[in-house]
């Protein structure tokens, strides 16, 4: 073994970002990355759009293939290799080559655990039947797309109304399916407040989705060939030709837990701002690891590609002997359903109440451009602020083209700890093709200021 060897478990955003950053810092470091799927560094967030045929080829989703890491960066990226055990006492990992089922032990001096997250599959009858698809890796997206192309289903059921569920409902509509969405909660998009989520629900219903809220999944009806033919909820049964299971994801932290590494929020791996696990020479990053929420100040688990890449960068710098910290997140996220853009950042109402904070809120309706300008679209903005000091706590936005990315104004304000008054004074850009004279975020801030 060379003097210094880094083993990376996980070859997507966080893992390969860290490996690349460590290589930039140290040319002498031996780096081996193990990835259990056939792909490295792919855009998981683009999978629903590939399934919906908006993106034609899967290669468009791959940022950097394994051979590129090997040939251009001297990073030994081994795909179809799964790490199944970590031995901290002997500083080695047990790896199975999935192509030939052979096992080996690989030593390390430094270890990065970037195992990501996995879909939650409930223990209900029929869960393992054919015709049920989860969306977690590029490989799973390929299987889903191939099945759609081959089978050309007419009826599809999406179970779960979060980001992936909403995006997959759109994709299946684009593929010509009649779509039903089942959600056990009283609303879709649980990271939104109820009133903002209702806008999403009404849009989905208006665009043809049958929405079944407050209906927990209880099982699947399976035919004699072992294929799902219906989805069963607490209230009724829905026939299906094609089923997406997207009720949520969980951190892939089992390897870490098994070797004694501390877990935190929602069983994500506990790390500090340098991505260190508390075990000397062992770091963690990405969807398997915690972050800190900048508003609550508490440990917080969020699975986002943006966060994973930043985690990886910080981990890679520190692994190579540099100095970098990751200060935390505010939970900024954005998606869409057809032409409705949906975005959020910071705390939502129930989180504010859980923290015992006194707050006020404002919701406004405006336009994305000057009202008289062609193609000006409706936009709704909701802001939360702390009562007394007026600090922004959270923001949510829905609306037409040009709405969603306005969430970034609120995200920057949250990072800066700005008050509502300071947001009103921001020197934001204006021209009729882009915005009203008062940007909708600032209009909402003005209304909110009057309530403080």
The CATH number of residue 403's host domain is 3.30.390.30
pTM of the model: 0.96
For residues 219 and 161, membership in a common domain is answered with: yes
280 and 348 assigned to the same domain: no
- pLDDT, one tens digit per residue, over 285-340 is 999 999 999 999 999 999 999 999 999 999 999 999 999 999 999 999 999 999 99
Q: Residue 145: inside a domain, yes or no?
A: yes
Is position 439 within any domain? Answer: yes
Bridge partners of 395, per DSSP, are 345, 383
Annotation says 45 is catalytic = yes
Q: Which of 247, 269, 291 is the last residue of a domain?
A: 247
Residue from 396, 381, 405, 389 nearest 449 by CA: 389
Whether 127 and 232 share a structural domain: yes
Q: For residue 264, how many other CB atoms are within 10 A of its CB?
A: 17
Asked whether residue 135 falls in the same domain as residue 241, the answer is yes
Q: Quote the domain boundaries for residue 280.
A: 5-39+63-117+250-319
Q: Are residues 268 and 297 in the same domain?
A: yes
Whether 224 and 281 map to the same domain: the answer is no
- Residues 208, 166: one domain? yes
Q: Is residue 48 part of a domain?
A: no
Residue 107, strand partner residues: 92
Which residue among the candidates 45, 144, 177, 288 is catalytic per the annotation?
A: 45
Residues 403 and 422 in one domain: yes
Calpha distance 67→64 (Å, rounded): 8
Is 45 within the bounds of a domain? Answer: no
- pLDDT tens, 151-169? 999 999 999 999 999 999 9
pLDDT in the model for residue 349 = 98
What's 291's domain CATH number? 3.50.50.60
**Do the beta carbons of residue 277 and residue 283 sit within 8 Å?**
yes
Final residue in a domain of this structure, among 270, 304, 319: 319
User: Are residues 22 and 112 both part of a single domain?
Assistant: yes
Total tally of structural domains belonging to the chain? 3
Q: Identify whether residues 133 and 148 lie together within a single domain.
A: yes
Residues 126 and 240 in one domain: yes
Please write the tens of the pLDDT for every residue from 373-418. 999 999 999 999 999 999 999 999 999 999 999 999 999 999 999 9
pLDDT classification of 1: cutoffs 50, 70, 90? very low
Tokens representing 387 are 């009562």
């Amino acid at each position: 073994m060379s003097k210094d060897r880094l083993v990376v478990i996980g070859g997507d955003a966080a893992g390969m970002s860290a490996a690349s950053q460590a290589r930039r810092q140290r040319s002498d470091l031996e780096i081996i990355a193990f990835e259990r799927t056939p792909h490295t560094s792919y855009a998981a967030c683009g999978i629903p759009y590939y399934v919906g045929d908006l993106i034609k080829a899967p290669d468009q989703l791959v940022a950097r293939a394994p051979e590129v890491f090997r040939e251009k960066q001297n990073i030994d990226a081994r795909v179809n290799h799964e790490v199944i055990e970590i031995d901290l006492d002997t500083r080695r990992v047990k790896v199975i080559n999935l192509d030939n089922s052979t096992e080996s032990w690989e030593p390390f001096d430094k270890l990065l655990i970037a195992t990501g997250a996995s879909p939650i599959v409930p223990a209900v009858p029929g869960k393992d039947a054919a015709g049920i698809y989860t969306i977690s890796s590029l490989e799973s997206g390929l299987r889903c797309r191939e099945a759609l192309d081959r089978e050309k289903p007419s009826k599809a059921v999406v179970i779960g109304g979060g980001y992936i569920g909403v995006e997959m409902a759109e994709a299946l509509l684009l593929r010509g399916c009649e779509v039903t969405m089942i959600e056990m909660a009283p609303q879709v998009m649980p990271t939104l407040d109820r009133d903002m989520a209702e806008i999403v629900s009404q849009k989905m219903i208006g665009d043809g989705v049958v929405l079944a809220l407050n209906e927990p999944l209880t099982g699947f009806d399976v035919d004699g060939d072992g294929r799902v033919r219906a989805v069963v909820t607490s209230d009724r049964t829905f026939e299906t030709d094609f089923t997406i299971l997207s009720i949520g994801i969980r951190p892939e932290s089992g390897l870490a837990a098994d070797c004694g590494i501390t877990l935190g929020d929602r069983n994500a791996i506990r790390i500090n701002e340098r991505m260190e696990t508390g075990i000397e020479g062992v770091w963690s990053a990405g969807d398997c690891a915690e972050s800190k929420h900048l508003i609550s100040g508490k440990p917080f688990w969020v699975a986002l590609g943006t966060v994973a890449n930043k985690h990886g960068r910080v981990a890679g710098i520190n692994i190579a002997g540099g100095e970098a910290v990751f200060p935390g997140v505010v939970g900024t996220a954005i998606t869409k359903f057809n032409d409705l853009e949906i975005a959020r950042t910071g705390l939502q109402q129930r989180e504010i109440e859980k923290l015992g904070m006194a707050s006020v809120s404002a919701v406004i309706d405006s336009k994305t451009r000057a009202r008289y300008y062609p193609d000006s679209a409706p936009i709704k903005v909701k802001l939360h602020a702390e009562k007394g000091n007026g600090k922004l706590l959270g923001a949510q936005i829905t609306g037409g083209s040009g709405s969603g990315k306005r969430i970034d104004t609120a995200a920057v304000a949250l990072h800066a700890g700005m008050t509502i008054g300071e947001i009103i004074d921001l020197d934001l850009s204006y021209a009729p093709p882009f915005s009203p004279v008062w940007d909708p975020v600032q209009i909402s801030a003005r209304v909110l200021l009057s309530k403080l």
